[in-house]
Structure 1
């Protein structure tokens, strides 16, 4: 188990992949053929549901199928893990998000996080967006963790756990190329003259991403490489002198 830092979350929330219920559900999902079989058989794409959650204002059940265009809301102690197309999502408790439709029911164009947090592994495809009140991320294939901190007036957190992401907050924008957790704040008001600032890596684990990647038939960057870097939010496998989070370079050398 990798070390992880917490900010306003508990170990129980982060260790969902150790639950017997999830392991049984994931094994059954895989045995039934995974996401492609679910689409072909028109069966539910929900891998696990715990507690009370809502789908478009009605109570969500394991028999439902989540589609683009839907709004998902979870209550206290409630979580939902589901597949949509070639991507996997874990919506944490006390969260609300919408999955805006792209070219088809299975193609997400925008994941709009309104409250709470979501862990996601995205399969390769056309550019899609993750949008919060203070940050926008343009992605193709990657693993991400996104959270909105209501107690900080909606300040948003994004970790590009691996892959390439176009990140924007206010007038600040950059390209994030990460192999091991590159993290950012989307500020509510300028901090040091910038709306996009560097953050540490917290509130999510390597194992969460690995399990979601497995559901989607993928591997994380560190699984492919066979080793891990320093989980400091800078995003690199190897800790070399002078390496910085790209948000720390905004406004320098023409960035």
Structure 2
């Protein structure tokens, strides 16, 4: 288990992937052929649901299907993992997101995070983005973690765990090319003259991203190269 720094989160939230029921559900999802098989057999695309969640204002059950265009909210102590198209999502407790529709029902064009936190892994594609109150991120094919810190004046946190992401906050825009966790704070009002400032890797683990990548038959960058860097948020392996 990699070391992880927590800010305002409990250890059990980061260790959700170790739960026996979660591991069994993920193994069954993969063994049964993932999303294509689930669609063909008209099965749910929810890999695992713990606690209470709603979709479009109605209580969500593990047998339902989440579609692009849906609004999702998780309650206290809950955890939700699901797959749409070639993207997988893990929604932490007390979070509110919308998955806006792309060209088809099974393409997410925008992941809009309103409250809370979400981790996600995206296969290659175009015209997809993550939108937060103070940050936008253009997704090309990557693994990311995003969180809104409401107790810090809605300060937004974003980590490009691996891959290439176009990140913007206020008038600032950067192209983040990360091998291993490049993270940012995004503020509505500049801090020390910056809308985007460097951050460390907090509140998420390598294993969570590896879990999500496996659901869509992918591997993280560090799995492919067989080594890791440090979690200082710089995005490099530290060669």
- Which stretches in structure 2 are left out of the alignment for 5+ residues? none
Counterpart check, 1:184 vs 2:184: yes
Partner of 1:94: 94
Find the aligned partners of 1:4 and 1:228 in 2 and give their Cα distance.
14
TM-score by length of 1: 0.92
Shift of 1:216: 0.8
* 1:1-255 equivalent positions in 2, closer than 5 A: 1-238=1-238
Contact 2:6–2:202 (CA under 8 A) maintained in structure 1:
yes
| Cα offsets for 1:165-192 (capped at 9, x unmatched) | 0000000001000000000011131111
Deviates further, 116-125 or 184-193 = 184-193
Question: Any conservation in 2 of the 1:153–1:188 contact (CA below 8 Å)?
Answer: no
* Structure 2 Cα separation of the partners of residues 118 and 142 of structure 1: 14
Divergent runs of 4+, >2 A: none
Distance 1:136 1:96 in 2: 16
Alpha-carbon shift at residue 156 of structure 1 (Å): 0.5
**1:202 partner SS:** coil
CA RMSD of aligned residues (A): 0.7
Distance 1:104 1:127 in 2: 13
8 A contact 2:180–2:237 mirrored in 1 = yes
Structure 1: unaligned runs, 5 residues or longer:
240-255
Which whole-Å deviations, capped at 9, do the CAs of 1:178-226 have from their partners, x for residues lacking one? 0000000111311111111111111000000001101110000000010
Q: Deviations over 1:62-108 (max 9, x none)?
A: 11100100000000001110010011100000000000101011111
TM-score normalised by L of structure 2: 0.99
Instruction: Note if contact 1:137-1:166 (Cα within 8 Å) is conserved in structure 2.
Output: yes
Aligned length: 239
- What is the CA–CA distance in structure 1 between the aligned matches of 2:30 and 2:129, rounded to whole Å? 28
2:138–2:166 CA contact under 8 A, matched in 1 = yes
Distance 1:159 1:22 in 2: 24
C-alpha separation in 2, matches of 1:185 and 1:40: 41
Q: Is the 8 A contact 1:180 1:221 kept in 2?
A: yes
Aligned to 1:244: none
Q: Distance in 1 between matches of 2:34 and 2:27?
A: 10
Distance 1:238 1:223 in 2: 16
User: Could you give the per-residue CA deviations for residues 106-152 of structure 1, whole angstroms, max 9, x where no partner exists?
Assistant: 11110000000001000111131100000000011100000000101
Q: Distance in 2 between matches of 1:71 and 1:65?
A: 12
